[in-house]
Each structure stands twice: as C-alpha cells, then as structure tokens.
Amino acid sequence: MRAVLQRVSEASVTVDGDITGAIEQGLLVLFCAEHGDIDDEATYFARKISKMRIFTDDEGKMNRSVLDINGSVLVVSQFTLAANWKKGNRPGFSAAASPAEGERLYKFFCHALKNEGLTVEKGIFGAHMDVRLLNDGPVTIVMDSKDSA
C-alpha cells in the first residue's frame, strides 16, 4: 500500500466537469492498493495520517495533526503509485491491486479515515480526474507499507 500526503490550503477533484470532492485546509491523499495489501494496513495508514503532526502550531513548528486543526482529507485513488519504472521507458503497473480489490481497499481506507474522526471527500475510483491543489509548504510525505518501522 502506498499513499502520498500533501498538506494543502485547498484541493478539489473534478470528473467530467463536475466537482466530486473539495476541501479547504487539510490533506490531499493519493492512495494506491497493491497486490497482497490487507485491511489492517489501510486501518494503520488511516490512524497514522489522522495523527501525523505536519501542520504548524502557533510557534511555526510542525506540531499539529489534521485532526488538531479541524482539517479535512481529500482521497484520490492513484494506481500509478505502484509503477515499476526501472526497466525500459514505459512504466509497468502489475504491482497494483486488481481494480475490484483496489476499489474495495480504497473505500475501506476512506471509511477508516472517517472512523478516525476526519471529514473525507473523494474522487471517483477508476475515473479520469482533474486534481487541483494549493500545496501548503510544500509538505509532502510518502508512505509505503513495505517500509520498515
């Protein structure tokens, strides 16, 4: 499982000219399920994301979580995070979960974020999406379930 978190002042997703999700201050999360990923990993990611202290406090230090600032999360499915780019010039995506499993884990992850007390907006799984964001910082965190603790 992989996720890219971007601290944003605002972000939105548009599909076929319609806004499907939009937030003000919070996190844009690009989410990718890979073969073998399980619900527990999605729950762990949601818990870590909700408590990750990457928003500034009154002294300008990154010391507050998205929960602490009453921020929201915009989650966008992005199977291309599973890209194998080392061989040749066309990336391969065979490490990504099947569409059915990817969608199931995407929905599970969004639900897990809601269970952490977050307001969650979403894109549309499998759709061509236009994603707009105003990156705050910039602050970008890459999470990979294969990384050791």
Whether the Cβ atoms of residue 42 and residue 105 lie closer than 8 Å to each other: yes
**Catalytic residue flag (residue 25):** no
Candidate list 45, 55, 79, 109, residue with the active-site label: 79
Candidate list 6, 31, 45, 78, residue with the active-site label: 78
**Catalytic residue flag (residue 79):** yes
- Determine the longest span between alpha carbons in the chain, in angstroms: 48
**Catalytic residue flag (residue 14):** no
Q: Which residues are catalytic?
A: 78-80
